[in-house]
Amino acid sequence: MTPTQFTFSTTFMLGLAGLAFHRTHLLSALLCLEGMMLSLFLALSLWTLELDSTSFSASPMLLLAFSACEASAGLALLVATTRTHGSDRLQTLNLLQC
């Protein structure tokens, strides 16, 4: 495993660990998801540069577009949750009350 692959896999795993262990606020979960998507985008971009193939050149941009859509949907949910519940703490959310 090269040092760059190790760096990106470690970054992804740290984002996944942050998502798994720090689930108190919705904003921290969204930031961990964005960190994971950023590491995936950089790793996929470097992978397409290493392969020097034009068939994979659109993949990082497609991943970036999906990441932007995920971020906007997450922020919309954050605003809606904060307006209805008064907080972004995940312990205050209950699916049975909806």
Per-residue pLDDT tens digits for 42-64: 999 888 888 887 777 888 899 99
pLDDT value of residue 95: 62
Question: Cα–Cα distance between 8 and 77 in angstroms, integer?
Answer: 28
pLDDT value of residue 97: 62
Question: Cα–Cα distance between 74 and 4 in angstroms, integer?
Answer: 29
pLDDT value of residue 96: 62
pLDDT value of residue 35: 92
Mean pLDDT per 10-residue run, the chain (98 residues)? 88 93 87 93 89 82 92 92 86 67
pLDDT value of residue 36: 93
Retrieve residue 82's tokens: 């904060």
Q: Where are the domains of the chain?
A: 1-85
Question: Cα–Cα distance between 45 and 23 in angstroms, integer?
Answer: 30
Question: Cα–Cα distance between 13 and 9 in angstroms, integer?
Answer: 6
Neighbours of 39 (CB within 10 A): 20
| pTM of the predicted model as reported, rounded to 2 decimal places | 0.83
- What is the fold of 1-85? Helix Hairpins (1.10.287)
pLDDT value of residue 22: 81
Strands (E), the chain: none
Three-state secondary-structure class, residue 86: coil
pLDDT value of residue 16: 94
